[in-house]
Amino acid sequence: MTTQRTVTDRDHRPATAGAARDQVRRLLGGAASPLPAAVVNDVLLVTSELVTNALRHGGGLTAFGAVLGDGTITLSVSDRTSTPPRTDTAGTVTTPGGFGWPLVRRLSRTVAVRTTPTGKTIEAVVSLSPLGQAPGA
């Protein structure tokens, strides 16, 4: 598979999680072979959670990128706070939330959080093979 890139700068970053999902969906559509629906759904869920958390808890999305590589997609989301995400499953019917970060970690092959002078960047690498299968299996 040839590496493809979407590069989103400060002037063209998605305004919503839905817009980020649309960008990633288009990128995945350019994969060398069609991807299983479950894989696409997992990638879109990770995209949505990372962008939503940046907008809701990170002071706003400052950068977004996605790179389609050999058997993976790497999602990069930056926001304005250096506070790392935390696992908090205290969400209830009246106060939802707290489940996104554990989902991101479970669905991603690797996740890295890097602080920057203006906030943080989270990079999640998601496999394009169904869970439990090696690429090309």
* Banded model confidence at residue 101, pLDDT cuts 50, 70, 90: very high
Q: Identify the residue with better confidence: 57 or 90.
A: 57
Phi/psi for 42 (5° steps) reads -65, -45
Q: Give the integer Cα–Cα distance in Å for 134 and 137.
A: 5
Q: What pLDDT is attached to residue 18?
A: 96
pLDDT of 98 > 90? The answer is no
Taking residue 117's Cβ as centre, other Cβ atoms within 10 Å add up to 5
pLDDT of 49 > 60? The answer is yes
Q: Identify the residue with better confidence: 91 or 19.
A: 19
- Over residues 4-32, the mean pLDDT reads 79
Residue with structure tokens 């999602």? 75
pLDDT of 73 > 80? The answer is yes
Average pLDDT across the chain, whole number: 85
102 contact partners, CB below 8 Å, separation of at least 6: 87, 89
**Which amino acid, one-letter code, is at 77?**
V
CATH 3.30.565.10 describes domain 4-89+96-127: yes
Burial of 9 (0-12, 13-18, 19+ CB in 10 A): exposed
pLDDT of 1 > 50? The answer is no
Q: Closest Cα to residue 15, out of 51, 67, 66, 65?
A: 51
- Over residues 92-115, the mean pLDDT reads 84
